[in-house]
Amino acid sequence: MLTSFVRSGQKVILRIEDILNKVFSSEQNLLYYHGAMPNFCMWMLFLSGLLLFAYYTPTLEAAYQSVEYITNKLPYGDVIRGIHRYAADAMLLTVILHALRVYFTDRYREYRLIAWYSGVALSVFMLIIGVSGYILVWDERSFIIVTKITDFLGSLPFIGSSLASAFLNGEVISNYTMSMSFFLHTGTSFALLVLLWVHYMRISRPVVNVTWAIGSLISGIILLFAGLFPAISGPEAKFTVEPSYFDIDWFYLWLFPLIDAVGNIGAWLVLIAGITLVTLLPNFVRNHDKEPASVSKDHCVGCRLCSIDCPYEAIYMAPRNDGSKYKEIAVVIDDRCAECGLCVGACNFDAIELPNYKSPQVMDDIRIALQS
Amino acid sequence: MTQTETQSENKLKTKDEVKVAVIACARSVNLEGELSATKLNGVSNCDVIQVPCSGMIQPRMIEAAFNAGADGVIAMGCQIGDCHFREGNKFCRERLLGQRPPMIKKTVPKRRLKGLWMSEVQVEDFKARVEDFKGYVAEQLVEEQKGN
C-alpha cells in the first residue's frame, strides 16, 4: 500500500514537472532546483540577518526599541526586516517541497541515508532558529513564547528543570535570557552550515545554486510579501501585563497551539513521535539486495573516468603495486554504490561492470533484439 | 564501410521498414505492458533494450546497435534536470554531443542517432516521437544515398 501511495505521488510530481518544463524549459524548472531553493533562501537570511545584527541589541530594555529603530528609522530597515521574515517562510516551504519530492521519487534511502538523516536534523534546527527569532523582537508575543517554552522544557522529567533554567539562562527572565535566545538564533544558524556539509556528503557535484531567473523570482516574491505585509512588532512586552493572545505564525510557531491543545507532555510526545517517524521512514521500505559495481583488475587502465563520473563518490583511485603497467586502479566502496551504471557508461575498457547488467551482455541483448 | 551503409545502399526503406533500436533508461518512460519481448507494441520495427540509467549507455552499445542492423538509434533517459541517479541523463547527452568521454566513433551515423529525454508518464508522447524519428531516419537514408 505504501508503495502504491508513493508511486502515485511520484506520478503527480512528474506530471507537474512536465508542465513546468513546457512553460519554463527544463533549465528553469523550479522543481529541478528543489534542494537549491532552500539554500538560496538560507543565504538571503544570512545576509539580511547580518544587516539586522549590526543594529540589534539583545537586552530586555533595548531589544524592542532597537527593532523599532531598524524598522522605522534605518533606511530600508523595514525592507531588510521583511526579507528576513519572509525568506524564513520561503525556506520552510521550499524545504517541505524538497522533502516531499525526494520522498515520493524514492530518493531518500539506501545510499542516500546520510542526506535524509541530516535533512531531518536540519529541519529541527530550523524550528529552533525560527522560534528563537520570534523572541528577539521582544513584544508581547515574545513574552508568551518565553514563558511557554520554559514550561514546555520544564515539563520533561529529570532534565526538565535544568533545560528550563538553561533556556532562561537563570531562574527568571533577564537580559541573560535574551543573550541565550540570540545565541540560539545565530549560533544554530551557523550550525546549519556544518549540517549542510554532512547533508552534501557522498554527493558529487550537488546542485546548490539556483539559476539567476529562479533566484530573481524567489527574491521578487519575498520582496512583494515584505512590501504588502510589512513585518511589524506587537506591543512591547511588559512584565506588569500578562498577554493572553497573539498571532500565530503557522510556519514556526505551531508548537504553541499544539501545547494548548494537548498539554506540555502531549506536545513532547507528538514532537518526538513525529521526528522519530520521519527519521525512520527509510526503514519502512525493504532495501533490495546489494549488487555493487565491480572492477576487473585485468581491464582497468586507471583512466579515472568512472571515479569522476560517479554521482555518489563511491569510486576512488588507489595506487597499484601488482606489477601492472598502469599506476592506479578504480576501487568501489560497496556501501555507497547506487548500482546506477554511470561508471559503466564512462568505461571504454569493460573494466567496471554491474553484476546484473554486464555491458557485453547488454550489447548481446541489442544484437539479439535487432536480429529477431 | 559499415553494415548499415551497405544496407542503405542496397535498398531504400519506407518509414515502416526503418529499424529503430531504443536503448532506454528503465526509469524513464514506463513501458510495462508496452513491450512484447523487446518489440514496442503499436510501433513497427522498434526494439527497446533497457538499462538501469541512461548514464550507463556506452558509445559502444550505440555502435553495436547500428552494426546489428538498426537504421536509427535512440538513447533515452529521463527529462534533463531530473535523474534518479542525479546525473546519468546529463552525462549521456554530453556523450551524444561529443562533449564527454568516452567519445562516439566518427563512423557512427550521428544524424540517425537521437537523444530522447522523457519521464515515466509520457508513454504516448514517446511512441509519437519514435514514429517521427522513423520518418526522419527514412529521409536521412535517402539523403545519404544521394550523397554517395
Distances (CA, A) of A346 to A311, A341, A351, B7, B24: 12, 9, 10, 31, 17
Q: Is residue B5 one of the residues assigned to a domain?
A: no
Domain-ending residue, one of A284, A309, A343: A284
pLDDT of residue B148: 66
CB contact under 8 A, B122 and A305: no
Q: Which residues contact A319 (CB under 8 A, 6 or more apart)?
A: A327, A328
CATH (domain of A39) = 1.20.810.10
Q: Is residue A253 one of the residues assigned to a domain?
A: yes
Q: Which residues contact A286 (CB under 8 A, 6 or more apart)?
A: none
Give B112's contacts in chain A (Cβ within 8 Å).
Answer: none
Each residue's pLDDT tens digit, B78-90: 999 999 999 999 9
Q: Is residue A9 one of the residues assigned to a domain?
A: no
Q: Taking residues A260-269, what's their average pLDDT?
A: 96
Nearest-CB residue to B51 (from A312, A341, A370): A341
DSSP assignment letter at B1: -
For chain B, the domain total comes to 1
Residues A270, A337 share a domain: no
Give B70's contacts in chain A (Cβ within 8 Å).
Answer: 370
Q: Taking residues A44-69, what's their average pLDDT?
A: 96
Range of the domain at B46: 17-138
Predicted confidence (pLDDT) at residue A284 exceeds the cutoff of 80: yes
Predicted confidence (pLDDT) at residue B3 exceeds the cutoff of 60: no
Query: What is chain A's mean pLDDT, rounded?
Result: 94
Closest Cα in chain A, distance from residue B7 (Å): 14
CB contact under 8 A, A345 and B121: no
Nearest-CA residue of chain B relative to A11?
B121
Q: Taking residues A25-35, what's their average pLDDT?
A: 94
* CA torsion, ordered A371, B56, B136, B3, to nearest 10 deg: -40
The residue among A113, A294, A301 whose CA lies nearest residue A203 is A113
Predicted confidence (pLDDT) at residue B8 exceeds the cutoff of 60: no
B80 touches chain A (CB under 8 A): yes
Q: Is residue B124 one of the residues assigned to a domain?
A: yes
Could you tell me the end-to-end alpha-carbon distance of chain B, in angstroms, rounded to an integer? 12
Residues A106, A42 share a domain: yes
pLDDT of residue B1: 46
Residues A206, A143 share a domain: yes
CATH (domain of B102) = 3.40.50
Residues A140, A76 share a domain: yes
Residue by residue, what is the 3-state secondary structure of chain A?
CHHHHHHHHHHHHHHHHHHHHHHHCHHHCHHHHCCHHHHHHHHHHHHHHHHHHHHCCCCCCCHHHHHHHHHHCCCCHHHHHHHHHHHHHHHHHHHHHHHHHHHHCCCCCHHHHHHHHHHHHHHHHHHHHHHHHHHHCCEHHHHHHHHHHHHHHHCCCCCHHHHHHHHHCCCCCCHHHHHHHHHHHHHHHHHHHHHHHHHCCCCCCCCCCCCHHHHHHHHHHHHHHHHHCCCCCCCECCCCCCCCCCCCCCCCCCHHHHHHHHHHHHHHHHHHHHHHHHHHHHHHCCCCCCCCCEECCCCCCCCCHHHHHCCCCCEEEEECCCCCCCCEEEEECHHHCCCCCHHHHHCCCCCEEECCECHHHHHHHHHHHHHC
**Secondary structure element (H or E) that encloses residue B48, with its range:** strand B46-51
For chain A, the domain total comes to 2
Residues A181, A59 share a domain: yes
Residues A146, A68 share a domain: yes
pLDDT of residue A203: 94
Crossing angle (nearest 10°) for helices A140-154 and A113-136:
130
SS3 at position B56: helix
Give A29's contacts in chain B (Cβ within 8 Å).
Answer: 81
Q: Is residue B24 one of the residues assigned to a domain?
A: yes
Nearest-CB residue to B49 (from A27, A347, A365): A365
Within 43-72 of B, beta carbons closer than 8 Å to A belong to 47-49, 51-53, 55-61, 64-65, 68-70
Q: Is residue B101 one of the residues assigned to a domain?
A: yes
CB contact under 8 A, B58 and A366: no
A291 touches chain B (CB under 8 A): no
Domain-ending residue, one of A225, A259, A284: A284
B4 touches chain A (CB under 8 A): no
Give B122's contacts in chain A (Cβ within 8 Å).
Answer: 18
pLDDT band at B113 (very low <50, low <70, confident <90, very high): very high
Q: Is residue A17 one of the residues assigned to a domain?
A: no
- Which has more pLDDT, B9 or B116? B116
pLDDT of residue B15: 86
The residue among A179, A184, A149, A173 whose CA lies nearest residue A56 is A179
CATH (domain of A344) = 3.30.70.20
Residues A201, A338 share a domain: no
pLDDT of residue A171: 92
Within 307-326 of A, beta carbons closer than 8 Å to B belong to 309, 311-312
Q: Testing the interface with A: which of B30, B87, B103 to mutate, by most A Cβ within 10 A?
A: B87
Q: Taking residues A244-254, what's their average pLDDT?
A: 84
Q: Is residue B32 one of the residues assigned to a domain?
A: yes
B115 touches chain A (CB under 8 A): no
Q: Which residues contact B18 (CB under 8 A, 6 or more apart)?
A: B45, B71, B72, B134, B137, B138, B141
Q: Is residue A14 one of the residues assigned to a domain?
A: no
Q: Taking residues B28-37, what's their average pLDDT?
A: 93
Residues above pLDDT 70, as percent of chain A: 99
pLDDT band at B11 (very low <50, low <70, confident <90, very high): low
Residues A222, A332 share a domain: no
Q: Is residue B143 one of the residues assigned to a domain?
A: no
A304 touches chain B (CB under 8 A): no
Cell numbers 527593532 correspond to A67
Predicted confidence (pLDDT) at residue B16 exceeds the cutoff of 90: no
Cell numbers 526522419 correspond to B136
Residues A276, A145 share a domain: yes
Q: Is residue A5 one of the residues assigned to a domain?
A: no
Residues A136, A252 share a domain: yes
Cell numbers 510526545 correspond to A269
CB contact under 8 A, B84 and A363: no
Residues A317, A277 share a domain: no
Residues A271, A346 share a domain: no
Domain-ending residue, one of A284, A311, A345: A284
Each residue's pLDDT tens digit, A219-229: 999 999 999 99
Q: Is residue B3 one of the residues assigned to a domain?
A: no
Cell, residue A86: 519572509
Each residue's pLDDT tens digit, A75-134: 999 999 999 999 999 999 999 999 999 999 999 999 999 999 999 999 999 999 999 999
Q: B39 has which bridge partners? A: B36, B47
Q: Is residue B122 one of the residues assigned to a domain?
A: yes
Q: Is residue A196 one of the residues assigned to a domain?
A: yes
Range of the domain at A341: 294-371
Cell, residue A128: 529552533
pLDDT of residue A249: 87
B124 touches chain A (CB under 8 A): no
